[in-house]
């Protein structure tokens, strides 16, 4: 059975959460909801001697210029921040009648999963996080 740990989005919370569980109860993967938590989680994993992705898969929100530069490029959910900001600005200006409205108040900009090595994709099944552990 998969195990998960949760944390609030505060500085140093990611580091503490990554160290919180003993090895036998450690989750197989972690998800960082922002780059502050990501930094702390990666630091804790390194300090604990855990190898990404063989011992812990890592996924984060938001693609950023340096995500592919990790020794194991980071798998991310790209929220497309720039188009979200542009669309929001246009909608606000339209509501204020400063630009012509397109008739729609809501907009959906779907995120994109960018699969890279940090999630364990590309590892043989026997080498993925949690491989060989009994499911209880």
> Residue 34 belongs to what domain range?
13-79+112-127
How many domains are there within the chain? 1
Cis, peptide link before residue 56, omega less than 30° from 0: no
> Is the model's pLDDT at 127 over the cut of 80?
no
Residue 85, in any domain of the structure:
no
Assign 3-state DSSP to the chain and report helix, strand, coil percentages, each to 5: 35, 10, 55
pLDDT tens profile 50-105: 889 988 899 998 888 887 778 888 899 999 989 999 999 888 888 887 766 667 77
CATH number, domain at 72?
Answer: 3.40.50.2300
pTM here is: 0.70
**Which residue has tokens 């194991």?**
72
Query: Under 8 Å CB-to-CB from 18, ≥6 apart: which residues?
Result: 5, 30, 40, 41, 44, 45, 48
pLDDT band at 1 (very low <50, low <70, confident <90, very high): very low
């Amino acid at each position: 059975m998969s195990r998960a740990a949760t944390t609030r989005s505060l500085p140093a919370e990611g580091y503490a959460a990554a160290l919180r569980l003993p090895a036998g109860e450690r989750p197989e993967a972690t998800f960082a909801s922002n780059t502050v938590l990501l930094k702390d989680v990666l630091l804790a994993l390194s300090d604990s001697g855990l190898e990404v992705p063989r011992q812990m898969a890592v996924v984060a929100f938001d693609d950023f210029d340096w995500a592919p530069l990790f020794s194991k490029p980071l798998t991310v959910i790209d929220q497309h921040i720039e188009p979200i900001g542009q669309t929001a600005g246009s909608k606000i200006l339209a509501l204020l009648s400063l630009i012509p409205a397109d008739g729609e108040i809501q907009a959906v900009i779907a995120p994109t999963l960018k699969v890279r090595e940090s999630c364990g994709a590309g590892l043989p099944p026997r080498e993925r996080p949690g491989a060989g552990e009994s499911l209880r």
